[in-house]
Amino acid sequence: MQMKKWQFWIGALISVLFLWLALRGLNLGDFWGAMQKANYIWLAPGIAVYFVGVWARAWRWHYLLGPIKKIPTKTMFPITAIGYMGNNIYPARAGEVLRAVILKRKEGVSVSASLATIIVERIFDGVTMLAFVFVNLSELAKLTGASGFVGNIQQAAVYGTGIFIGALILFLLASMFPHTAMKVSLWALKIFVPRRFHARLIAVINKFLDGLASLRSPFNVLMVFLTSVFIWLLETGKYWFVMHAFDFNVSFFALMLMNGIVNLATTLPSAPGYIGTFDAPGIAVLTAYGVDQATAAGYTLVLHVALWVPITILGAYYLAREGIKWNDSLRKEAE
């Protein structure tokens, strides 16, 4: 799964743009002062809460895969950690494919079926992030948006809602009417894809539709949504703990809003690790709430590092323990 150079450079340029937006006008002396005054002991409970959320993510993935194969959460947790590590250090969210390939090696689940469940995860994550924004629309309306990001969030949230809800409806319909979905897919293949690729793509589509089986039950859909809300509330809990390391205070709902906006922004192409696309919106939301720029920048940087480093180290440990390297042979398994 090689990244084309133009895609890499687009992501890098977007990261540079967002970093410029985040850091313009920043007084470095005040920034370092805020960093030196921070009480970093608060990172410990924040990281602990975050890993509870990672365990919940592993449980959600186990639940989505249930109709295909029952796999214990304790087996899914290391693979989930490897996936998030991969997202942090490889471009184009290659960690999603990496965990699907590792699951195939360990449990025999097809990559196509695994990727279907992973895409479902991302859709529910997006819906949850938008819910966090909409729950706080009254708060959002009070903000000035002086930093340039916050003022247009309401309009962006409306467009984002249409995209994610539309995708969710499409996946729900495909799961409930797999034969119709297959007929539509075959029709599209005949029109848009050369015949020599049909057999292979039909096999992939069949396995992909198998991966949507968990969505055929309304109860399962509700469970996945509630689990997604729980996961992101735990992550907001990490934001709350890290906030106590710095000299400012905003409400938990403000941090929910920040979490929603930041994670929606990280869906944009960027350099690995969401450089810039995480930081600029985070600083913008906090400054709109009246937090001085230096403190907002220090907090956002520390939060970003605290979100990136622990899961990356843990995922790298599990990957090394498996004796797996992201090389050409592994990429071929993902094709």
| Conformation bin of residue 100: beta by default, left when phi > 0, alpha when psi is -120 to 50 | alpha
Q: Which structure tokens are listed for 254?
A: 């403000």
Q: What's the confidence (pLDDT) of residue 297?
A: 95
CB 173 within 8 A of CB 181: yes
pLDDT tens, 226-255? Answer: 999 999 999 999 999 999 999 999 999 999
With tokens 């992501």, the residue in question is: 11
Q: What's the confidence (pLDDT) of residue 214?
A: 86
Helix (H) or strand (E) holding 63: helix 43-65
Other CB atoms within a 10 A radius of the CB of residue 183 amount to 11
CB 296 within 8 A of CB 30: no
**Contact residues for 255 (Cβ-Cβ < 8 A; gap 6+):** 236, 239, 240, 243
**Sign of the C-alpha dihedral computed for residues 238, 241, 247 and 250 taken in this order:** positive
Taking the C-alpha atoms of residue 80 and residue 67, their distance in angstroms, rounded to an integer, is 19
99 is in which domain, residue-wise?
5-334
Taking the C-alpha atoms of residue 215 and residue 67, their distance in angstroms, rounded to an integer, is 10
Confidence (pTM): 0.86
Distance separating the N- and C-terminal Cα atoms of the chain: 8
Annotate 248-300 with DSSP letters as a single string. ----HHHHHHHHHHHHHHTTS--STTTTTTTHHHHHHHHHHTT--HHHHHHHH
Point out the residues of the chain with pLDDT beneath 70: 1-7, 141-158, 325-335
CB 259 within 8 A of CB 278: no
With tokens 């729950």, the residue in question is: 135
Other CB atoms within a 10 A radius of the CB of residue 44 amount to 11
Annotate 23-58 with DSSP letters as a single string. HTT--HHHHHHHHHH--GGGHHHHHHHHHHHHHHHH
Q: Tally the domains of the chain.
A: 1
Burial 245-267 (b: 16+ CB within 10 A, else e): bbebebeeebbbbbbbbbbbbbb
